[in-house]
């Protein structure tokens, strides 16, 4: 009894604020996120051309505003043929141009972006890192920053999946995000269906979600979950504009390889 009374009395104080727990946690995440972004910037080509980045930033902003999400997404696009997108600590979203080229519509891309924002909002990124590489490694990274550890753990973020339950949660949350933004989630399911077909054809370059729980199953769940009325959906951008954007990305890559 006396123990519970003491616990109750102590719980009246805001220890999270007194010990500045949240500030310390966010500083650690910020430091780790910065290390990963720097490591990627050293090994890959960053795309910083505004006309290529802005249409994607617009999709992110639309999802965030329509869902009142308290996440400040920092977008980084890298010129890499791998079909991949992933979230890293401190709300950094990494997109490879391979993904943009693979998507057949902006709605497909919006589904993937929504999926990554869901990982950020639900704090899956840090959960996964702690589970896979351990808290002690993360703390030593935040305070020191050994390049070998950074590169090895970066592989964890880029190639392997979250738990099946976290993936499903991110998928379903993405569907909700899209519907609240009046975006049809069906193209997101189509994208996963196509991915599952290509997986079975053994396309090695397709890394996105290849190790995730069966893409076909996920696509079916998305179609079963969606409730949006077809009449209320609005296109993210015109087909011409989307095609032009994809061509611009292709031209950027081609020019880089020609150089």
Binding site for another protein (CB under 8 A): 3, 6-7, 10-11, 13-16, 19, 21, 25, 123, 126-127, 130-131, 135
Q: How far is the CB of 123 from another protein (least distance, A)?
A: 8
Which two tokens mark 186? Answer: 């069906």
Q: Quick check: 63 and 114 in contact, CB under 8 A? A: yes
Nearer to another protein, 17 or 61 (CB): 17
Nearer to another protein, 85 or 126 (CB): 126
Q: How far is the CB of 22 from another protein (least distance, A)?
A: 9
Burial class (CB in 10 A: 0-12, 13-18, 19+), 19: exposed
Nearer to another protein, 143 or 258 (CB): 143
Nearer to another protein, 123 or 211 (CB): 123
Q: How far is the CB of 25 from another protein (least distance, A)?
A: 8
Q: Quick check: 210 and 86 in contact, CB under 8 A? A: no
Q: How far is the CB of 30 from another protein (least distance, A)?
A: 17
CA 130 to chain centre: 17
CA distance 104 to 102: 6
Pairing between β-strand 74-79 and β-strand 92-96 as defined by DSSP bridges = parallel
Nearer to another protein, 16 or 251 (CB): 16
Nearer to another protein, 136 or 204 (CB): 136
Tell me the H-state helices in 123-231.
Answer: 124-133, 135-143, 147-159, 164-180, 186-200, 215-225
Q: How far is the CB of 24 from another protein (least distance, A)?
A: 10
Angstrom CA distances, 258 to 29, 130, 254, stand at 38, 41, 6
CA 160 to chain centre: 13
What's the half-sphere exposure (Cβ side, CA atoms, 13 Å) at 8? 5
Q: How far is the CB of 16 from another protein (least distance, A)?
A: 5
Nearer to another protein, 3 or 257 (CB): 3
CA distance 150 to 148: 5
Q: How far is the CB of 32 from another protein (least distance, A)?
A: 14
């Amino acid at each position: 009894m006396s123990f519970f009374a003491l616990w109750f009395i102590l719980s009246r104080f805001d220890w999270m604020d007194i010990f500045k727990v949240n500030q310390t946690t966010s500083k650690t995440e910020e430091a780790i996120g910065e290390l990963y972004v720097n490591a990627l910037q050293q090994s890959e080509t960053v795309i910083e051309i505004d006309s290529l980045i802005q249409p994607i930033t617009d999709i992110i902003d639309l999802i965030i505003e329509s869902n009142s999400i308290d996440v400040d997404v920092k977008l980084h696009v890298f010129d890499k043929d791998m079909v991949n997108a992933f979230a890293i600590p401190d709300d950094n979203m990494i997109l490879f141009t391979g993904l943009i080229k693979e998507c057949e519509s902006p709605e497909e891309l919006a589904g993937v972006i929504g999926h990554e924002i869901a990982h950020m909002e639900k704090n899956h990124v840090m959960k996964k890192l702690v589970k896979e590489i351990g808290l002690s490694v993360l703390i030593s990274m935040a305070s020191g920053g050994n390049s070998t550890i950074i590169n090895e753990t970066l592989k964890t973020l880029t190639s392997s999946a979250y738990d099946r339950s976290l993936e499903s949660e991110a998928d379903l949350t993405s569907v909700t995000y899209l519907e609240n933004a009046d975006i049809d989630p069906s193209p997101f399911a189509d994208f996963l269906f196509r991915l599952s077909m290509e997986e079975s054809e053994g396309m090695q370059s397709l890394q996105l979600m290849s190790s995730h729980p069966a893409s076909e199953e996920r696509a079916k769940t998305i179609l079963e979950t969606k409730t949006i009325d077809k009449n209320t959906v609005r296109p993210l951008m015109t087909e011409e504009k989307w095609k032009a954007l994809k061509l611009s990305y292709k031209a950027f890559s081609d020019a880089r390889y020609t150089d």
